[in-house]
Structure 1
Amino acid sequence: MWGGRTRILAVAVLAAAALSGCGRSVPGTPVAAPGTGPVVPELRGVPGEWVGSYTCAQGETGLTLTVEPDGRTEFAFYPLVTNGAARPGRFEMRATVDGERVTFTRVRWLEHPSGYEMVDLVATERTQQLMRGTVNGSGCSSFRVDRILS
């Protein structure tokens, strides 16, 4: 299908596009990592992996929040040594920022253990290394996560 002349022409067109700056980043414009959506400027400082715990009716439970640049977030929970009865699961959330407050709103289950409900989080305290706040759900109280540096 691709003859010699057609292949050479296609390579020449691609080379010209690359040399002309097609697809280059504009300085000062946030760029999303491959496979993620556009960067939401308000989320600066939030994307990344955060690990800690939250407390609900089942007791203190391990928590990993994986926040993408576009606000998509995975809430993964699991048992801790201090609470082996907790069951593992995961759901998708959406992160939004209002001033210093970060709100994580439940979207859909990814792995749903029987008897568990999705919750929302509101981080009322946030630094580059820590988020802590309230867990909005039946029988829930608080959460704290620390940023994992890569």
Structure 2
Amino acid sequence: MRRLRGDIRSAATRALAATTAVAVMSSTAAGCASEVAGTAIPTPGYSATAAASTPPATSPTASAPAATPAPNGSTPPSASAGPSVPRSSATGIPALAGIWRGSYTCNQGRTGLTLTIAAGSASAGTATFAFAPLPDGPTVPDGSYSMSVTRSHGGVEFLPVAWIQHPSAWTMVGLTVPGPVNWSGSELTGSVDYAGCSTFTVTRSVQ
């Protein structure tokens, strides 16, 4: 009976000693924790791997508007680009189209002439021959008639066709511009094809 009581007392002593050791360890741990106050402590569920691989959040920024084509797919012109004026490369009768003013000389004296040329093709067209008095010339009536225009032997030939305004006792005359013709030139000169007549000269009129 005494031995049993001794064993019980010994077991109780050992249990008390173990409890005291646990308490001491808990107190030591608490002291260590108090020494690291201010150190970052991960929150529950924190993953170091996930944190390292997750890019930092960035605030949304306005993106530049997408480039869009100009209307009808064209490229907008440069503000510094000037207008482009193509130079005419026409030759033959089309190059002569327009109004030409000058004079011709026949028996009545130097007379005013307006020659209006219209192209039909590269080698043919039509014209109107209109005559009138010049300020320093003889007194003559106004008149006009149509003509055919053709390329001939490197030059240009104007042949009378029909009266438009016919003054009494007047006759239609033809014109010849000898070749080679300066198609881009501003002057035409040649012969008046009728007895008693000589030459004509006309200058391109600026429209």
Aligned length: 110
Question: Which string of whole-angstrom CA distances, capped at 9 and with x for unpartnered residues, describes residues 77-101 of structure 1?
Answer: 0000111412110000011113541
Where does the alignment leave 5 or more consecutive residues of structure 1 unmatched?
1-40
Between Structure 1 and Structure 2, which shows a larger proportion of helix residues?
A: 2
Could you tell me which of 144, 162, 173 is aligned with 1:108? 162
RMSD over aligned CA atoms reads 1.5
The code of the aligned residue for 1:73 comes to: A
Report which of the two has the higher share of strand.
1
**Alpha-carbon distance between aligned partners in 2 of 1:142 and 1:149, rounded to the nearest angstrom:** 23
What is the TM-score when the length of structure 2 is the normalising length? 0.50
Q: Using the alignment, how far apart are the partners of 1:80 and 1:120 within structure 2?
A: 20
Whichever of the two has the greater Rg, that structure is 2
Letter of the 1:129 partner, please give it.
S
**Alignment-derived partner of residue 15 in structure 1:** none
Q: Which runs of 5+ in 2 are unaligned?
A: 1-90
Instruction: Please tell me whether residue 143 in structure 1 is matched to residue 200 in structure 2.
Output: yes
Identical counterparts, % of pairs: 38
Runs of 4+ in 1 over 3 A off after TM superposition: none
CA contact (8 A) 1:59 1:86 kept: no
Note if contact 1:124-1:131 (Cα within 8 Å) is conserved in structure 2. no
**Deviation of the 1:72 alpha carbon:** 1.2
The residue that corresponds to 2:133 in the other structure is: 79
In structure 2, C-alpha distance between the alignment counterparts of 1:72 and 1:44, rounded to whole Å: 11
What is the DSSP-based 3-state SS (H/G/I as helix, E as strand, rest coil) of the residue aligned with 1:108?
A: strand
Q: How far apart in 2 are the matches of 1:137 and 1:87?
A: 19
Task: Determine the structure 1 residue equivalent to 2:191.
Answer: 134
d(CA) in 2 for partners of 1:45, 1:99: 17
1:6 aligns to what? none
CA distance in 1, matches of 2:116, 2:164: 13
Question: 1:36-70 deviations in whole A, cap 9, x for unaligned?
Answer: xxxxx731311110000000111000000000112
Q: In the alignment, what sits opposite 2:148?
A: 94
Structure-1-length-normalised TM-score: 0.69
Amino acid at match of 1:106: P
Amino acid at match of 1:147: R
Which protein, 1 or 2, shows the higher relative CO under an 8 Å CA cutoff with sep ≥ 6? 1
